[in-house]
């Protein structure tokens, strides 16, 4: 039924799959409550419309747009309008534009955020005071390179789920993310493993090779990968496949991206629209086709969960006196209590994830810079996602992982006074990304149960 090994340690993390699932059952209610019930964490400021895709021309960009994706659905014209990809991908619910700095003489009531985040929201609490890019950031701040400050979007009203966005446009974005940003060696150095030291490795090596082939778009590299498969050389740890001398930093980079991809797919499968009945719900076939037989994809998602938990717990001291700034002191107290309870409930130290093993080699400074730049590139690619809702969650999750990496590698948990600034958008993105992966883990467990029921096993 399942190739899942609960007792196995998630490679490159320190916890087992079952430890992470057990922890998730404890933490999910906190994360759920924070992300669904507090104003601070349920609105996200994001620049969805004013940035151009920097990676391909206008003509190609069209293929990343809804119109292109819509064409990939079979019998799209037979689907009622409201269920079409273009409709499902639209943003919904209350959306407030950024208040901007108040002009002299402008009235309090001119500020559009009022009524959305509280009647007397202090402007300093809503506006970011530190919009400039900090060299220690792993993401492009949402407001850089754009004159507009973006919009506040309700995350609760725009759940991450099936939208029908697929086909050439979506594929091109994923290809660009993997192909342009993974750490590739010169073609001559690429090698594929015949054996693997990880529990999932040998079984899924062939699929991992197919995955890699599909994302490495440079012909020369593809040819080398094929040659290497044929020769069956080298050893492997990265989902049964890795470049011969891939160090942990490069593995982690790939795992973060792949784990994010897995989590997005898990949401699509868990909240799927049956276009025949019009019912939303879990789609077991979707899970089976896209995740169940790919333990390396699942493994990367569990890895991400461990990484996000460690980052959240490392923030404990940093957020002890954090000002949440909704207009409602009672809600602020509740938000603070929930966030601290969440951080306290996560095992402290390196029990779950040990970031201190990274960036220790002599070339650590250059490697870290490279790592950071590549991750910033991923945040730029998100402007090429041609579906509003997908772009919203893609941007949020990239920012969430960028924040986690920043906290892991640039923060001192014992002396927060030296920490780089943490923007509101970063904190919101981190906690909501944790919420996404937490929900995905839960969904995967449910799919496993559904499958067990189907085959009649306890």
Which residue ranges make up the site for ligand FAD (CB under 6 A)?
A: 160, 162-163, 165-166, 170-171, 173-174, 211, 214-215, 258, 261-262, 264-265, 268, 290, 297, 385, 389-390, 393-394
Q: Residue 265 CB, nearest distance to ligand FAD (Å)?
A: 6
Q: Which are the catalytic amino acids?
A: 387, 390
The answer to whether the annotation marks 290 as part of a ligand binding site is yes
The answer to whether the annotation marks 174 as part of a ligand binding site is yes
* Residue closer to ligand FAD (CB basis): 96 or 170: 170
Q: Residue 62 CB, nearest distance to ligand FAD (Å)?
A: 16
Q: Residue 322 CB, nearest distance to ligand FAD (Å)?
A: 29
Distance from C-alpha of 81 to C-alpha of 98, rounded to nearest angstrom: 31
The answer to whether the annotation marks 263 as part of a ligand binding site is no
The answer to whether the annotation marks 380 as part of a ligand binding site is no
Nearest alpha carbon to residue 114 among 136, 90, 92, 97? 97
* Residue closer to ligand FAD (CB basis): 111 or 439: 439
Q: Residue 262 CB, nearest distance to ligand FAD (Å)?
A: 4
Q: Residue 150 CB, nearest distance to ligand FAD (Å)?
A: 17
The answer to whether the annotation marks 161 as part of a ligand binding site is yes
The answer to whether the annotation marks 261 as part of a ligand binding site is yes
* Residue closer to ligand FAD (CB basis): 127 or 168: 168
Q: Residue 339 CB, nearest distance to ligand FAD (Å)?
A: 26
Q: What is the 3-state secondary structure (H, E, C) of the chain?
A: CCCCCCCCECCCCCCEHHHHHHHHHHHHHHHHHHHHHCHHHHEEEECCCCCCCCCCCHHHHHHHCHHHHHHHCCCHHHCCHHHCHHHHCCCCCCEEECCCCCCCCCCHHHCCCCCCCCCCCCHHHHCCCCCCCCCCCCCCCCCCCCCCCCEEEECCCCCCCCCCCCHHHHHHHHHHHHHHHCCCCCHHHCCCCCEECCCCHHHHHHHHHHHHHHHCCCHHHHHHHHHHHHHCCCEECCCCCCCCCCCHHHHHHHHHHHHHHHHHHHHHHHCEEECCCCEEECCHHHHHHHHHCCHHHHHHHHHHHHHHHHHHHHCCCCCCCCCCCCCCHHHHHHHHHHHHHHHHHCCCCCCCCCHHHCCCCCCHHHHHHHHHHHHHHHHHHHHHCCCHHHHHHHHHHHHHHHHHHHHHHHCCCCCHHHCCCCCHHHHHHHHHHHHHHHHHHHHHHHHHHHHHHHHCCC
- Which residues make up each annotated binding site for FAD? 161, 163, 174, 258, 261, 290
């Amino acid at each position: 039924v399942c190739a899942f090994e609960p007792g196995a340690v998630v490679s490159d993390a320190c916890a087992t799959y079952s430890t992470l699932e057990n922890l998730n059952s404890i933490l999910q209610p906190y994360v759920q409550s924070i992300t669904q019930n507090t104003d601070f964490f349920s609105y996200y400021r994001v620049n969805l419309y004013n940035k151009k895709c920097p990676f391909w021309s206008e003509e190609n960009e069209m293929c990343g747009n809804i119109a292109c994706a819509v064409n990939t659905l079979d019998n799209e014209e037979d689907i009622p309008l409201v269920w079409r990809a273009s409709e499902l991908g639209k943003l919904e619910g209350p959306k407030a534009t950024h208040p901007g700095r108040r002009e002299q003489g402008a009235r309090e009531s001119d500020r559009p955020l009022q009524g959305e985040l509280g009647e007397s929201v202090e402007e300093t609490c809503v506006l970011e005071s530190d919009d400039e890019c900090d060299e220690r950031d792993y993401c492009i701040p949402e407001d850089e390179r754009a004159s507009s400050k973006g919009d506040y979007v309700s995350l609760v009203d725009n759940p991450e789920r099936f939208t029908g966005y697929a086909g050439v446009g979506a594929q091109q974005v994923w290809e660009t993310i993997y192909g342009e940003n993974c750490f590739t060696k010169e073609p001559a150095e690429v090698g594929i493993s015949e054996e693997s030291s990880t529990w999932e490795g040998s079984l899924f090596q062939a699929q991992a090779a197919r995955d890699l082939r599909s994302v490495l778009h440079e012909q020369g590299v593809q040819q080398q990968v094929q040659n290497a498969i044929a020769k069956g050389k080298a050893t492997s740890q990265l989902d049964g496949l890795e470049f011969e001398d891939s160090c942990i930093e490069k593995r982690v980079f790939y795992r973060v991206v792949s784990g994010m991809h897995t989590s997005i797919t898990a949401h699509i499968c868990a909240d799927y629209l049956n276009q025949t009945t019009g019912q939303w719900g879990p789609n077991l076939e979707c899970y089976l086709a896209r995740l169940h037989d790919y333990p390396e994809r699942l493994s990367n998602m569990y890895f991400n969960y461990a990484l996000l938990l460690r980052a959240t717990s490392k923030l404990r001291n940093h957020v002890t006196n954090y000002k949440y700034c909704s207009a409602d002191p009672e809600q602020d107290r509740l938000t603070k209590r929930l966030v601290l309870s969440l951080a306290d409930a996560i095992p402290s130290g390196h029990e779950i994830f040990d970031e201190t093993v990274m960036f220790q080699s002599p070339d650590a400074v250059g490697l870290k810079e490279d790592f950071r730049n590549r991750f910033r590139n991923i945040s730029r690619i998100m402007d090429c996602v041609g579906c509003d809702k997908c772009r919203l969650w893609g941007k949020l999750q990239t920012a969430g992982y960028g924040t986690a990496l920043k906290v892991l590698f640039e923060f001192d948990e014992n002396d927060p006074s030296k920490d780089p600034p943490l923007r509101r958008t970063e904190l919101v993105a981190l906690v909501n990304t944790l919420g996404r992966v937490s929900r995905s883990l839960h969904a995967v467990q449910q799919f496993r149960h559904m499958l067990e029921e189907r085959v009649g096993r306890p």
